[in-house]
Amino acid sequence: MIRLLVLDVDGTLTDGGIYYDSHGTEIKKFAAKDGAGLLIAHAAGIRVMICTGREGEPVRRRAADLKITDVYQNVQVKSDFLRKFMAENGYTKEEVAYCGDDINDLAAMNLCGFVACPADASDIIRARADYICPQCGGHGAVRGAVQKILETDGRWKDAVFAAFGVPLD
């Protein structure tokens, strides 16, 4: 059963674009559907981690909005970081899922029992993934991954009800 969901940001939680306003402030667009999916993941008892190679205030802000406390930015070698995190927190490979979109995610993905990617992920990641979400990065792919994880182990309906009070029967 999945207990930890690790998320990349650029190209997974966002469309992969890096935008700057006229003052040089970085701007990112996040999908509300992904936010709903992460609320459902929390309701199912899944710990959510953001692990990204870049650093920026938009990621901190979005994580705070979604009550994600495991936010690790400027992680240059994700596999080394994740291996250490899993060991320190007692996670086995089978308990960890990863959702990412590009080559810098590949080694970390190989540490995980379930791997999902957005529809527009790179070919090498699509070939590695256990599940290719029908949505593109920044357009609900993370919600799609959460739904697949929870449907696979029979937690989807209960988690949706716990998160939003909506029965799916």
pLDDT in tens, 107-151: 999 999 999 999 999 999 999 999 999 999 999 999 999 999 999
Angle between helices 141-152 and 32-43 (to 10 degrees): 30
Q: Per-residue confidence at 169, pLDDT binned at 50, 70, 90? A: confident
Annotated binding site for Mg(2+): 8, 101
User: Which residues are annotated as part of the binding site?
Assistant: 8, 10, 101
- Mean pLDDT over 96-116 rounds to 98
Mean pLDDT of the 8-19 span: 96
Identify the CATH class of 4-164: alpha beta
Rounded CA gap, 54 and 77, in Å? 12
**pLDDT score recorded for residue 40:** 98
* pLDDT 10s digits, 49-62: 999 999 999 999 99
Cα–Cα distance for residue pair 42/108, rounded to 1 Å: 22
Q: Which residues are annotated as a binding site for substrate?
A: 10
Residue 68: is its pLDDT beyond 90?
A: yes
Specify which residues 114 forms β-bridges with: 97
Helix or strand (DSSP H, E) at 97: strand 96-99
**Pairing status of strand 114-117 against strand 47-51:** unpaired
Q: Is the pTM of this model over 0.85?
A: yes
